[in-house]
A and B are shown apart, each in its own frame.
Chain A
Amino acid sequence: DAGVIQSPRHEVTEMGQEVTLRCKPISGHNSLFWYRQTMMRGLELLIYFNNNVPIDDSGMPEDRFSAKMPNASFSTLKIQPSEPRDSAVYFCASSLFVPGSNQPQHFGDGTRLSIL
C-alpha cells in the first residue's frame, strides 16, 4: 500500500519566493496533519484537517503560511513570502479518525526546505 506521499523532497529557493509543498495522504484516511521539524524545536504541529476541513491552525506561525485541502487525496502548504527562518523539514501525516479511538498517524518522508 502506498504511504503518505510528499513532494518535492527538497526545495531550495531565495528569500521572498513563494513555496508550495504538496501531500497525498493514505487512501481512506480522513485526517491530515502538517508538521515542521527543526533541531531546536523538534516536531511542531502546524495545522490539522479532518474531512478536508481545517480544524486547528493554531500552530501556523504567521500569516505567510497557508494550507488547503481541496479534496480527500491532496493538500498543500504554502509559504509566501518565504524567509530564511522557514528553513526546516516539513512533514505531512495522515490517520483514520474513528470516534472513541485515537488511530496512529503515518508520516511521509518530508520536504527539506532551504530558504537562502
Chain B
Amino acid sequence: QKEVEQDPGPLSVPEGAIVSLNCTYSNSAFQYFMWYRQYSRKGPELLMYTYSSGNKEDGRFTAQVDKSSKYISLFIRDSQPSDSATYLCAMSAPGTYKYIFGTGTRLKVLA
C-alpha cells in the first residue's frame, strides 16, 4: 500500500461545477498538507498549504483536512476551463524535509 493514494482520473466536469479532489494517506505523523496544480509542460505550482486539521479557503479553492480519517480534499468552486490541469497532493511530517506526493488527478473542465 502506498503512503498516499490519489485517483489519477481523468475527471471531467462542466464549467461552473464544484470539483472535489481527494487524497488518502496512511502515515498519522503527517501534519503538513499541500495541493499543487501542474499544467502541461510546467512545474507544480503551490495552491494550498495547510497545517494539521481544518479548512483553509483562498478564493475559489478550499482545502480540507480530516486527520481522523486520514483524508484530505481540495474543492474548486465555479470551475473554469483554465482550471484544467493535474492536481497533486503532498504531505510531510514535522521536522522532515521529505514530501510524499500523490500521483496526481487529471482534471478537465469543459466549456
Contacts and interface: CB of A to CB of B under 8 A. Distances in A.
A106 interface: yes
Interface string B59-99: 00000000000000000000000000000100010111111
Query: Is the contact region of chain B dominated by helix, strand, or loop, or is it mixed?
Result: loop
A65 interface: no
Interface of A: 4, 31, 33, 42-43, 45, 48, 50, 55-56, 91, 95, 97, 100, 102, 104-110, 112
Interface of B: 31-32, 34, 36, 41-46, 49, 88, 92, 94-99, 101-104
Top-5 shortest CB links A-B: A107-B43, A109-B43, A102-B32, A43-B101, A104-B49
A43 B88 contact: yes
B94 A102 contact: yes
Contacts of B92: 102
Given A50-B97, A102-B94, A104-B34, A42 B103 contact: yes
